[in-house]
Amino acid sequence: MPVELARAKINLALHVLGRRPDGYHVLDSLVAFATIADTVTFTPGGHVSLTVDGPTASAAGAGPDNLILKAEKALAQRVPGLSTGHFHLAKRLPVAAGIGGGSADAAAALRLLATASGLSMDDPRLVAAALETGADVPACLLSSALLMRGAGEAITPVQGFSPLQAVLVNPGVALSTAPVFAALGLEKGTETGLSPMPASLDLNACRNDLAAPARALLPVIADVEAALAKAGAPLVRMSGSGATVFGLFATAREASTAADKLRTEHPQWWVAATELS
């Protein structure tokens, strides 16, 4: 059975530059993808269906709101005779965590459908279905280091990206995206006046403009940031709209040691050492 990894999406930087008249926020983001992932399996034939298992299956659900089913519907509307069948999602990533788990699942399903139906990965119908499914899905469709601009529709691969060793930590509390953006208080058709990412993509000169409003809504994020810094991460930053925070380390060994320490000290947190690329 065809299988695709749905890799966690990490916003290494996320600059919010404004809000468009249609309500979408204008983003300038550097994105990489983790080795830790959900797994999506596709069995062609029959009606569209979905089953879900794994540690975070109950939070993801297998109902019509699951982005896998929304992605399949969006593509089927554009591709007559699309090969359909049964999806199985092994859900390991935390839900509503700022790491694009649902979007990555949807993108994995789209890649499986494209392969089964003989579509190229740059087929405009595939890209359109991804964007209709969710703002992060086009980036997750590529699933490698990229720049994401606009409302998520402008994707540029980053050539020569050097893999990074990281520890991801989620405090085990879901944080919806909409309230975090709403807390920015941006009116439609306005700009923030904040700087975009530097052309050098120097992470030390970047930021996540959603971190402050996310911390205000969920103060435990600050505790996670402090714990990662204490564990030795020279750079600590929240991913996406939270509440997952990442810390970067010089080596995989250092990341693994820090992850073990954090699991011992905070057994209620979700902790994963991973590589970002």
Cβ-in-10-Å burial (0-12, 13-18, 19+) of 54 comes to middle
Mean pLDDT computed over 44-71: 94
Record the tokens describing residue 182, joined without a space.
Answer: 């709403």
Residue 121 is classified by DSSP as T
Q: From residue 240, how far is each of 27, 65, 86, 100, 135 by CA, in Å? A: 11, 21, 30, 8, 12
CATH number at residue 192: 3.30.70.890
Mean pLDDT computed over 83-107: 97
Q: What is the sign of the dihedral through the CA atoms of 173, 177, 178 and 183?
A: positive
pLDDT of residue 1: 79
Mean pLDDT computed over 36-59: 95
- The active-site residue, picked from 9, 38, 70, 105, is 9
Q: Are residues 196 and 240 in the same domain?
A: yes
Q: From residue 51, how far is each of 83, 90, 227 by CA, in Å? A: 18, 9, 36
Instruction: Decide if 169 contacts 228 (C-beta within 8 A).
Output: yes
Instruction: Decide if 238 contacts 244 (C-beta within 8 A).
Output: yes
pLDDT in tens, 183-205: 999 999 999 999 999 999 999 99
d(CA 188, CA 185): 10
Tell me which of 157, 179, 195 is where a domain ends.
Answer: 157
Q: Count of domains in the chain? A: 2
> Is residue 52 very low, low, confident or very high in pLDDT (cuts 50, 70, 90)?
very high
Record the tokens describing residue 229, joined without a space.
Answer: 């810094």
Q: Are residues 92 and 170 in the same domain?
A: no
pLDDT of residue 47: 92
What is the reported pTM? Answer: 0.95
- The C-alpha torsion from 192 through 195 and 197 to 198, rounded to 10°, is 170
CATH number at residue 25: 3.30.230.10
Task: Express as a percent the part of the chain with pLDDT over 90.
Answer: 96
Q: Are residues 181 and 97 in the same domain?
A: no
Mean pLDDT computed over 255-273: 98
Q: Are residues 106 and 214 in the same domain?
A: no
Mean pLDDT computed over 204-209: 98
Q: Are residues 59 and 28 in the same domain?
A: yes
Catalytic residue status for 188: no
Q: Are residues 146 and 191 in the same domain?
A: no
Q: Are residues 197 and 231 in the same domain?
A: yes
Q: Are residues 253 and 188 in the same domain?
A: yes
d(CA 47, CA 27): 38
Tell me which of 157, 179, 203 is where a domain ends.
Answer: 157
Structural domain that includes position 75:
3-157
d(CA 197, CA 116): 38
Q: Are residues 197 and 148 in the same domain?
A: no
Catalytic residue status for 9: yes
Q: Are residues 138 and 233 in the same domain?
A: no
pLDDT of residue 166: 98
Tell me which of 103, 138, 157 is where a domain ends.
Answer: 157
Instruction: Decide if 109 contacts 68 (C-beta within 8 A).
Output: yes
Q: Are residues 146 and 202 in the same domain?
A: no
- Which parts of the chain fold into alpha helices (H)? 57-60, 67-76, 101-117, 124-133, 137-142, 177-184, 211-217, 220-230, 252-265
Mean pLDDT computed over 218-240: 98
Q: Are residues 188 and 204 in the same domain?
A: yes
- The active-site residue, picked from 28, 105, 136, 209, is 136
d(CA 203, CA 276): 14
